[in-house]
C-alpha cells in the first residue's frame, strides 16, 4: 500500500484508509465485535495505517472497537476521531463544541481508544454557537499539552477553515467526496489546496451505491440511514444507474470492479486526498485496497469528466435537516 501525506504538518498515512463507522452505527444494528476486530486487523495486514472513528458512532462503541482492534499496533497506525455533539440517553442531542466539552471528549476518547495521544482530532460539525477561533484554540492547547497531534475539521466551509487555520494549522478536512458528490470542488478544495490542508474523503463509494451492488430492489435494514436519504429513493436509484454504467465501462477496461474505479478516481484527483471507504467484510476490504494499484490515465480522467458532466445525479445527498445536524 502506497503512502500519502495529508496536509503540510507531516501526517503520512496509507493512500486508502478505513472508515469504521458502519461497523457500529448508521447502517442498521452494530455488527459482531469479534468479527469487526478481524476486519480492522486484516486492514493493518494489508497495509492500511489510517482508521476513522468518532465518539457518536454508537455512541462510544465504535471507538471502543477501534481501540481494542488496534491496541497491538500502537504507534504504527493513525487513528482519527471527532468531537462536537452532546450525547444524551445514548443518542446525539445537538451540537456542542464548547471548549470544556472538547476537553472532556478528548480525555474520554483516549481511554476508549487505549492511546496516550489522539493522532487526528476533528471537529465533527461546525457549531454556530461557538466561535471557530475558540475551537481551534482549545485544540491548539491540547496539542501543546501532548494530548493531540493534529487538528481537523469536517464539512466546514471555506471561511471557517481559514479562520480556524489562522489560530491552529488544520492538517485535514474530512468531507464527503466521490464521483457523485462533487460540490466541494467549487470553493473548498481550492481553499485547502492553497492552505496546505489535506482532504480525507468519506463515503467515496457513495454509501455503497457506486459499487454497483445496490439497485432499486435492494432493501436496507431498519435503522439504515439510506432509508431516509433522497439519493436512495427507488426512483433515484433507477435514475442514477447512468453513473454506474460509466463506471462499469472503465472497470471492464481495467479488469477491475466499479468500486475500484470509483476509488481510483478519487485518488487521481489530488495527491493529498485520502479516501476512507468503510466495510464490514474482509473480501470487500481487499477489493477496496486494490484500487490503490489502479492508475487512470490523463485521457481516461478527461473521458470520465466529459461523460459524467452529461449525467444528472438525482436526489440530494442528505435531507435539509440532516445537512444541518448529521454526524455521518
Residues contacting residue 188 through CB under 8 Å, at least 6 positions apart: 157, 158, 161, 173, 175
**57: annotated active-site residue:** yes
Within 8 A by CB and 6+ apart from 180, the residues are 206, 209, 210, 231, 240, 243, 313
Contact 24, 61 (CB under 8 A): yes
Residue-wise over 265-288: b if at least 16 C-beta within 10 A, else e? bbbbbeebbbbbbbbbebebbebb
Contacts of 198 (CB under 8 A, 6+ apart): 4, 5, 6, 7, 11, 171, 172, 173, 192, 272, 273, 274
Compute CA distances 153 → 46, 160, 170, 176, 209, whole Å: 28, 9, 7, 12, 26
Q: Cβ distance 18 to 47 under 8 Å?
A: no
Gap between the Cα atoms of 327 and 21, Å rounded = 10
Determine which one of 27, 57, 60, 318 is catalytic.
57
Burial class (CB in 10 A: 0-12, 13-18, 19+), 172: buried
> For residues 143 and 141, what is the distance between their CA atoms, to the nearest angstrom?
5
- The answer to whether 276 and 17 have CB atoms below 8 angstroms apart is yes
Active-site annotation, residues = 57
Amino acid at each position: 500500500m502506497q503512502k500519502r501525506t495529508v496536509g503540510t504538518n507531516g501526517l503520512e498515512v496509507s493512500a486508502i484508509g478505513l472508515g469504521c463507522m458502519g461497523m457500529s452505527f448508521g447502517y442498521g444494528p452494530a455488527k459482531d465485535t469479534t468479527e469487526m476486530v478481524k476486519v480492522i486487523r486484516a486492514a493493518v495486514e494489508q497495509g492500511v495505517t489510517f482508521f476513522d472513528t468518532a465518539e457518536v458512532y454508537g455512541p462510544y462503541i465504535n471507538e471502543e472497537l477501534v481501540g481494542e482492534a488496534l491496541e497491538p499496533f500502537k504507534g504504527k497506525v493513525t487513528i482519527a476521531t471527532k468531537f462536537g455533539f452532546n450525547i444524551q440517553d445514548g443518542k446525539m442531542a445537538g451540537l456542542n463544541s464548547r471548549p470544556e466539552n472538547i476537553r472532556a471528549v478528548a480525555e474520554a476518547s483516549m481511554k476508549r481508544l487505549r492511546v496516550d495521544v489522539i493522532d487526528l482530532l476533528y471537529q465533527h460539525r461546525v457549531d454556530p454557537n461557538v466561535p471557530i477561533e475558540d475551537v481551534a484554540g482549545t485544540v491548539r492547547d491540547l496539542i501543546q499539552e501532548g494530548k493531540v497531534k493534529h487538528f481537523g475539521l469536517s464539512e466546514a466551509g471555506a471561511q471557517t477553515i481559514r479562520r480556524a487555520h489562522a489560530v491552529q494549522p488544520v492538517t485535514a478536512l474530512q468531507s464527503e467526496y466521490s464521483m457523485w458528490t462533487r460540490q466541494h470542488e467549487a470553493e473548498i478544495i481550492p481553499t485547502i489546496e492553497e492552505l496546505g490542508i489535506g482532504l480525507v474523503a468519506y463515503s467515496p463509494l457513495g454509501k455503497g451505491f457506486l459499487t454497483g451492488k445496490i439497485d432499486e430492489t435492494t432493501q436496507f435494514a431498519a435503522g439504515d440511514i439510506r432509508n431516509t436519504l433522497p439519493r436512495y429513493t427507488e426512483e433515484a436509484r433507477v435514475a442514477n444507474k447512468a453513473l454506474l454504467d460509466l463506471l462499469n465501462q472503465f472497470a471492464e477496461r481495467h479488469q477491475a470492479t466499479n468500486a475500484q474505479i470509483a476509488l481510483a478516481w478519487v485518488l487521481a484527483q489530488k495527491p493529498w486526498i485520502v479516501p476512507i471507504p468503510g466495510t464490514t467484510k474482509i473480501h470487500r476490504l481487499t477489493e477496496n485496497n486494490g484500487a490503490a494499484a489502479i492508475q487512470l490515465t490523463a485521457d481516461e480522467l478527461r473521458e470520465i469528466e466529459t461523460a459524467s458532466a452529461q449525467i444528472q445525479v438525482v436526489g440530494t445527498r442528505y435531507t435539509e435537516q440532516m445537512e444541518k445536524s448529521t454526524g455521518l
